[in-house]
């Protein structure tokens, strides 16, 4: 898959462009914003969106846009951290399970099936109770939700290619198992994993904001999208814009990552695309 | 090894002397039971490893070492973990979930669940039905008008639907349909046992909020399955026989697309129940999800445990149901275990 392919697929391109704009906004935004995300301004409490405050102000007179951009950075980092760990562990375990087969494969897949039996958010909630609240633990909860998904995808893809001629060639050449797994198999099965990663990061943000929203995740004053929504929920009737704008931001971020994932999926499996259109 | 459907049973049992469909049914059932046993053990062990002393959570910071020891002895917390698990499991089999520590201190957890589970199930089933109706409309119209504006719009709507966090959508629905239009209540839920219309009315917004992302996934699956089947040879043959488009669609395309659709509906239950947790809090529904969150805050471990196992049981029950329905619809599946 090359960059030029990405440019030709409209879905992937749209997703990539919005993602890049979003990333730029959350990196540069808080720096160039004239407002301080932690600066209280009691003279301008709960103002509706204006030219000065595009997203309005919150209960402490803080600029919601600045806070949302900073919160999005925190949420995205937590989600990426969790999904990254899940990918690292899940892909490694999945590669070995799919390649080696036998009891190791059976055991791993049974554990995966068991984790799949719990509703995603319930699993995350349960882990927050066990681990305690906080930024890192939210990331770990997200990891546990996505670990089984990465393990299963990798294992199934590995099983499909493990008897291919190029793998046999590598085996005959006497390459070590880990080299075969990570140098031969992984590059050939990376497409579905990358698609899953982009979709998982999107839903990791939802899990983070959900946990923080009910107060079991990131704790204030650290801004995260969930924390800001939890605050907005307190004065939702008087100032609905805090909640609305924060949620819209999440929706746009998710939309971008989902489009990117869809586009990548089409690129990875052209057969699927020709069938769909 | 036969490919294992995602989200299906942990273990499969072989019953060599039974007729094939029954064999399949029983192997799935036993698998579900074993899964819930292993799952409950996992929940129990992880919960025991959790930081924080339940005794302190109940007795407060001023507890004396003697009162803590008394509390632990009374509850059996001083015994080895596996002994505690066996006791817990034994009670669980008799549908005795123990008593709550702090949020409803001393009350029977079974009673709490018996009161709350119907509400969670009502909202959940309601959401699935709404999602299926939306998906049938969106997915079918997109597939029938493949490549035309209707298709593009339906696809765009479904990508958007998947991208909205359900709890935020809940608030937006409150803003528009409750505070704005005044059509639905923004808080509170009338249990189904009290009033059917009341439950349908008060449960509509929460169910719709949970249904939206699911409807998006369902309609995409349905569209893909329909489009896939439209290109099959048997459809071309049916066309050459001069059957009407409507007949071909219903009998040759739609029927074959139902199975992947049902499988996805089953898989989404996992996400549905996750969404239920926050939605119950927002809309003030007395359900298992809101109970679990309350218990999580109060460090009421037995209640958290009971809720987690309940959710696991619901997911497994639905998976079992989906497997059986699929086996009934597609005889080829029945022989496989």
Q: Is B120 exposed, middle or buried (0-12, 13-18, 19+ CB in 10 A)?
A: buried
CA distance B122 to B138: 24
List of chain A residues whose C-beta atoms are within 8 Å of the C-beta of residue B11: 110
Question: What are the φ/ψ torsions at residue B108 (nearest 5 degrees)?
Answer: -70, 125
**pLDDT for res A275:** 38
Model confidence pLDDT, tens digit, residues A205-226 = 999 999 988 888 888 888 888 8
- Report DSSP state, residue A222: S
- List the 51-80 stretch of B: residues with Cβ below 8 A of A: 51-52
Contact B11, B34 (CB under 8 A): yes
Q: Indicate yes or no: CB of A240 within 8 angstroms of CB of B147.
A: no
Question: Mean pLDDT for chain B?
Answer: 81
Is the pLDDT at A24 greater than 70? The verdict is yes
Minimal C-alpha gap between B73 and chain A (Å): 23
Cis preceding linkage at A221, omega within 30? yes
List of chain B residues whose C-beta atoms are within 8 Å of the C-beta of residue A68: none
Quickly list H helices, A1-134.
3-8, 10-32, 64-100, 102-116, 120-131
**pLDDT for res B78:** 73
Q: Indicate yes or no: CB of A251 within 8 angstroms of CB of B165.
A: yes
Contact A139, A83 (CB under 8 A): no
Q: Indicate yes or no: CB of A247 within 8 angstroms of CB of B293.
A: no
Q: B145 to chain A: nearest residue by CA?
A: A277
Is the pLDDT at B13 greater than 60? The verdict is no
B172 touches chain A (CB under 8 A): yes
Helix/strand number for chain B, H first, E second: 15, 0
CA distance A64 to A33: 11
B11 confidence band (pLDDT: 50, 70, 90): low
CA distance B55 to B77: 9
Residue B206: CB partners within 8 Å, gap ≥ 6? B123, B127, B170, B189, B279, B280, B282, B283, B285
Bridge partners, B108 (sequence order): B99
- List C-alpha distances in Å: B83 to B34, B35, B80, B87, B88: 19, 20, 5, 6, 9
pTM, two decimal places: 0.84
Q: Which of A16-20, A210-214, B270-274 has the lowest mean pLDDT?
A: B270-274
- Alpha-carbon torsion (A94, A100, A105, A107), positive or negative: negative
CA distance B202 to B189: 5
Q: Which of A28-42, A139-153, A195-209, B274-288 has the lowest mean pLDDT?
A: A28-42
Contact A69, A29 (CB under 8 A): yes
List of chain B residues whose C-beta atoms are within 8 Å of the C-beta of residue A240: 171, 175
Average confidence (pLDDT) over B265-272: 83
B171 touches chain A (CB under 8 A): yes
Matching residue, tokens 């006497």: A174
Model confidence pLDDT, tens digit, residues B195-217 = 888 888 888 899 999 999 888 88
CA distance B204 to B123: 8
List of chain A residues whose C-beta atoms are within 8 Å of the C-beta of residue B271: 119-121
Q: A131 to chain B: nearest residue by CA?
A: B50
Average confidence (pLDDT) over B3-29: 60
3-state SS, residue A63: strand
CA distance B337 to B335: 7
């Amino acid at each position: 898959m090359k960059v030029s392919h990405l440019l030709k697929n409209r879905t992937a391109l749209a997703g990539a462009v919005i993602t890049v704009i979003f990333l730029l906004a959350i990196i540069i935004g808080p720096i160039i914003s004239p407002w301080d995300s932690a600066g209280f301004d009691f003279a301008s409490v709960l103002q509706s969106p204006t030219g000065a405050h595009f997203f309005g102000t919150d209960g402490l007179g803080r600029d919601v846009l600045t806070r949302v951009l900073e919160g999005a950075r925190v949420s995205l980092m937590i989600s990426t951290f969790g999904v990254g760990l899940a990918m690292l562990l899940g892909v490694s375990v999945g590669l070995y399970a799919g390649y080696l087969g036998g009891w190791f494969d059976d055991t791993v897949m049974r554990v995966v099936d068991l984790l799949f039996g719990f509703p995603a958010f319930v699993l995350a909630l349960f882990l927050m109770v066990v681990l305690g609240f906080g930024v890192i633990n939210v990331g770990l909860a997200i990891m546990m939700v996505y670990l089984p998904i990465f393990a299963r995808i990798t294992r199934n893809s590995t099983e499909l290619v493990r008897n291919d001629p190029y793998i046999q060639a590598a085996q005959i050449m006497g390459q070590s198992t880990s080299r075969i797994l990570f140098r031969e198999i992984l590059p050939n099965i990376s497409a579905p994993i990358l698609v899953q990663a982009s979709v998982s990061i999107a839903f990791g943000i939802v899990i983070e904001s959900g946990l923080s929203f009910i107060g079991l995740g990131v704790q204030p004053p650290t801004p995260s999208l969930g924390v800001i929504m939890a605050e907005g929920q307190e004065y939702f009737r008087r100032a609905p814009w805090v909640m609305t704008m924060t949620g819209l931001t999440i929706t746009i971020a998710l939309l971008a990552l989902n489009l990117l994932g869809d586009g990548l999926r089409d690129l990875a499996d052209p057969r699927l695309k020709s069938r769909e259109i | 090894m036969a490919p294992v459907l995602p989200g299906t049973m942990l273990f499969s049992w072989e019953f060599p002397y039974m007729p094939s469909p029954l064999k399949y049914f029983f192997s799935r059932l036993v698998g579900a039971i074993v899964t819930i046993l292993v799952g409950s053990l996992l929940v129990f062990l992880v919960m025991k490893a959790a930081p924080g002393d339940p005794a302190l959570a109940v007795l407060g910071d001023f507890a004396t070492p003697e009162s803590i020891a008394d509390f632990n002895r009374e509850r059996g917390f001083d015994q080895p973990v596996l002994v505690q698990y066996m006791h817990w499991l034994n009670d669980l089999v008799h549908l005795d979930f123990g008593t709550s520590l702090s949020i409803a201190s001393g009350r029977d957890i079974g009673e709490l669940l018996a009161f709350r589970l119907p509400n969670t199930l009502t909202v959940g089933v309601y959401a699935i039905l709404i999602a299926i109706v939306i998906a049938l409309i969106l997915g079918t119209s997109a597939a029938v008008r493949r490549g035309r504006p209707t298709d593009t719009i339906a696809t765009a709507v479904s990508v958007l639907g998947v991208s909205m966090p359900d709890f935020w959508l809940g608030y937006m629905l409150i803003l528009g349909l409750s505070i704005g239009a005044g059509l639905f209540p923004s808080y509170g839920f009338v249990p189904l046992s009290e009033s059917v219309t009341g439950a349908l009315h008060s449960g509509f917004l929460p169910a719709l909020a949970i249904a939206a992302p699911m409807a998006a996934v369902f309609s995409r699956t349905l569209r893909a399955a329909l489009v896939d089947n439209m290109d099959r040879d048997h459809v071309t043959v049916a066309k050459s026989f001069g059957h009407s488009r409507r007949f071909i669609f219903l009998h040759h395309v739609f029927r074959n697309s139902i199975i992947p659709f049902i499988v996805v509906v089953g898989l989404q239950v996992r996400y549905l129940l996750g969404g239920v947790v926050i939605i119950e809090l927002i809309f003030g529904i007395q359900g298992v999800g809101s109970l679990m969150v309350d218990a999580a805050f109060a460090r009421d471990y037995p209640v958290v445990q009971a809720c987690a196992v309940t959710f696991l049981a619901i997911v497994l029950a639905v998976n079992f149901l989906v497997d059986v329905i699929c086996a009934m619809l597609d005889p080829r599946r029945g022989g496989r275990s």
